[in-house]
Structure 1
Amino acid sequence: MSGTKTNFFLTGATGYIGGSVLTRFLEHPHAGTFQFTVLVRDPKKAEKFKELGVNAVVGSHTDAALVEKLASEADVVIATADCDDLGAAKATLVGLKKRHALGVVPIFINTSGTGVISDDAKGMHSDVTIYDDSDADQIESIAPTQMHRDVDLAITAADAEGYIKSYIILPSTIYGLATGRLVDLGIQNPHSMQIPSLISAALDRGQAGMVGDGKNLWPNVEIHELADLYTTLYDKIVSDADTGHGRNGFYFGASGEHSLYDVSKAIGTALVALGKSESEEPTTFTQADLDKYFGGSAYLGSNSRCRATRSLSIGWKHVKTTEDMLASIRSEVEAIIKKKAGSA
């Protein structure tokens, strides 16, 4: 690492995941030895980052030259923005290759997602392969046509070339309202995507909904425990040169498993309790519903099943369960109702 400071470049710092990860690193016992650079679109947010000692560059991830430059100055890149942005990933890799030419083997921690192992069940079954992040051969068998996979493969190919060490974290359904300094300062989005999208659809249609029969299964993880995986992984990389990377560097962020029906039923129960629906029971989304709320996609009816064996092996700990996830849904519903009322 260069000098007395480790230079980090983090993308997606104003997002749900990225803001939570940055908050954890700013609270790290060795935070005084870290220098973070983030890329943000909003100049006002950039100024707030600077108040926290974070170097904020105003710009866009679509600016390949800028992303390349910032990556070339980093010892560690943590990417938490759009996990399907192959252009940004390639620009990052070009920059890291330049960094490597200076005698540094940079670390690239990328955020993918368990959508890479999703299927097309449309809510009708859950009998599918369970992927284990410690089984490199099984992970390598994932079809290159799966979502997120093109970015994952580009990054692991760079590791195989030897100019980076790559580590790919794959979050599952993330839940909970993010908290911390970045949220308090109005910098960070505190909301996830999957469950809030179901809540918003339910509020609009007056009843909770699901794809098909809601029998499909997905893993879940609480947002702050997911953020802990990033710091745990970083600490392990620094302390143990043999930490799995490249084809052995996939780390699932998953602590429990739920059915779509159970999530939708919890939304329905909250809606009834809050006077927003007359029935707790979710009904199947029509194609018109899917078109209106989800761009015509039945993706929320897919299965994504995994075991976080490698993540746990490096010392990651989680205590939250699926019961905690289901119990958190009412507060998510209340927050979204409040947000909608404020924007009305």
Structure 2
Amino acid sequence: MSTKTKIFITGVTGYVGGFVLERLQNHPDASNFEITAMVRSAQKAEEFKKSGVNAVVGSFSDAKLLEDLTAAADIVIDVVDADVLEAAKIMLRSSKRRFQETGRPQVFIHTSGTGILADNAAGLKTTDVIRDDANPDQIEQLPPTAFHRDVDLEMIQADNEGYVGVYFVTPGTIYGIASGTFVDAGLHHKQSIQIPALISASIDRGRAGMVGKGVKIWPNVDIDDVADLYIDLYNAIKANPDAVGHGRDGFYFGLNGEHVLYDVSKELGRVLVAFGKSSEEEPTTFTKEEIDKYFNGLDYFGTNSRGLANHSKAIGWRPTKTTKDFLESIKPEVEEVLRRRL
């Protein structure tokens, strides 16, 4: 008699996690999955249960619960905050406990981000440095102080110890208005964080903004494409785990185009004028006070982050949306932000 694959997924009420959960439920092997999700809301947990998900009420602060849910899983898909080091340590401790009990390394798909590639250009210069996800030596050169890097390094160390196989889904700027069963039911977010934050700040100041000269370059990826990457990675691991890199060789970039911030802000300015929210299309530079106010003092929108998704494509990932689609998504993103502000 076959045993079901036990999957523990975090972040299902977030933007990406809900999409990944829906992909899992529509997977050809879905009847063989036993999916558990941890959510904060008891009401949302009941709704997820109606779709066959074992939804447990809790959060990353519930250490014992997080340990038990992680230890019970064959596969962990972590689609929540990439910077919660203590939660990562708790989950890895559980993975180790499971290995000691079963002798089988757990598959752990963790969400990082191309913030690991970011520099400190402050929007004043671009860069020719482009890192390839298929080249672990390039990634290993990243400083431990890089965004998300403390969690990534903790997980790589665990992979080195052999009790867990860690795979990093590493998206760029994710865009697109979410749609689907769970988002339509109000169970997870419709928008990402980065572009809506830029939009909200620009609306508030009455003009599209940018950091520095707006020359920074970042990668982008459509929400549907990046959700596919999680499933393509799962499929590749299942088909031939020995052929799929993990640990230091386990980075899979989610990107299918690059954008210059000025171009994004210029398109945003055009849309804001069309909606009567600005009188000028040309973006202007955020002041230090505005960066403090809108972005917690971080000049994240001034950093460069450039990469190649050769590793992701080698496992069969085939993204379809490009930077043209990204720029065309600005208008519906603005419409959604305005709708939420009513």
Q: Does 1:245 align with 2:241?
A: no
Please tell me whether the aligned partners of residues 128 and 303 of structure 1 are also in contact (alpha carbons under 8 angstroms): no
Q: How does 1:44-193 map to 2 (within 5 A)?
A: 44-101=43-100, 102-193=102-193
| 1:32 lines up with 2:31 in the alignment | yes
| Structure 1 position 305, deviation (Å) | 0.5
Percent identical pairs in the alignment equals 53
The answer to whether 1:233 aligns with 2:233 is yes
Where 1:169 maps in the other structure, the secondary structure is: strand
Secondary structure class of the residue paired with 2:329: helix
Give the whole-Å Cα distance in 1 for the aligned partners of 2:88 and 2:281: 43
Tell me the residue number matched to 2:206.
Answer: 206
Q: How far off its partner does 1:17 sit?
A: 1.1
The DSSP-based 3-state class of the residue aligned with 1:174 is strand
The two structures have a TM-score, normalised by structure 1, of: 0.97
User: Which residue of the partner structure matches residue 291 of structure 2?
Assistant: 290
Task: Supply the AA of the counterpart residue of 1:181.
Answer: T
Tell me if the contact between 1:64 and 1:87 (Cα under 8 Å) persists in the aligned partners: no
Give the match's secondary structure for 1:107.
strand
Instruction: Kindly provide the amino acid, as one letter, of the partner of residue 133 in structure 2.
Output: D
CA-to-aligned-CA distance 1:253-307 (integer Å, 9 cap, x gap)? 0000001111111111111111111111100001111111111221111000100
Deviation of 1:3 after TM superposition, in Å, equals: 5.1
Secondary structure of 1:277's partner? coil
Partner residue in 2 for 1:313: 314
Q: CA deviation at 1:141?
A: 1.0
Q: Tell me, what secondary structure is at the counterpart of 2:213? A: coil
Question: For the residues of structure 2 that align with 1:287 and 1:165, how far apart are their CA atoms?
Answer: 43
Give the whole-Å Cα distance in 1 for the aligned partners of 2:45 and 2:267: 38
Structure 1 window deviating more from structure 2 (98-107 vs 18-27): it is: 98-107
Distance in 1 separating the partners of 2:46 and 2:260: 42
In the alignment, residue 17 of structure 2 is paired with which amino acid?
G
Unmatched runs of 5 consecutive residues or more in structure 1: none
**In the TM superposition, what whole-angstrom CA distance separates every residue of 1:64-114 from its partner, at most 9, and x where no partner exists?**
221111000000001111100011111111111122121322100000000
Q: Is the 8 A contact 1:62 1:87 kept in 2?
A: no
Amino acid at match of 2:313: L
Whole-Å separation in 2 of the counterparts to 1:268 and 1:305: 25
Hey, what's the Cα distance between the residues in 1 that align with 2:63 and 2:140? Answer: 28
2:6 match? 7
Partner amino acid, structure 2, of 1:142: L
Give the aligned CA root-mean-square deviation in angstroms.
1.0
**CA shift for structure 1 position 176:** 0.4
Determine the C-alpha separation between the residues in 1 that align with 2:276 and 2:94. 53
Contact 1:220 1:258 in 2 (8 A): yes
Contact 1:178–1:223 under 8 Å retained in 2: yes
Change (3 A) 1:3 1:71: farther
Q: Distance in 2 between matches of 1:21 and 1:317?
A: 16
Deviations 1:211-257 (A, max 9, x none): 01100000000011000000000000000122111111111000000
1:180-202 CA-to-partner distances (Å, cap 9, x unmatched) read 11101110011101100010011
* Rounded Cα–Cα distance in structure 1 between residues aligned with 2:156 and 2:200: 37
- 1:121-152 CA-to-partner distances (Å, cap 9, x unmatched) read 11111124111000011111111111211111
Q: Contact 1:118–1:303 (CA<8 Å) still a contact in 2?
A: yes
State the shift of 1:4 in Å. Answer: 2.0
In 1, Cα distance between equivalents of 2:128 and 2:207: 29
The runs of 4+ residues in structure 1 deviating greater than 3 Å are none
Partner amino acid, structure 1, of 2:68: K
Q: Kindly report which structure 2 residues correspond to 1:216-227, keeping only aligned pairs within 5 A, or say none.
A: 216-227=216-227
- Range with bigger deviation, 89-98 or 207-216: 89-98
- CA distance in 1: counterparts of 2:8 and 2:236, whole angstroms: 19
Aligned residues: 340
2:151 maps to a residue whose letter is V
Secondary structure of 2:221's aligned partner: strand
Q: Distance in 2 between matches of 1:311 and 1:133?
A: 8
8 Å Cα contact 1:166-1:249 kept in structure 2:
yes
| 1:19 has 2:31 as partner | no
- Evaluate the alpha carbon distance shift between residue 142 and residue 240 of structure 1 in structure 2; reply closer, same or farther with a 3 A threshold: same
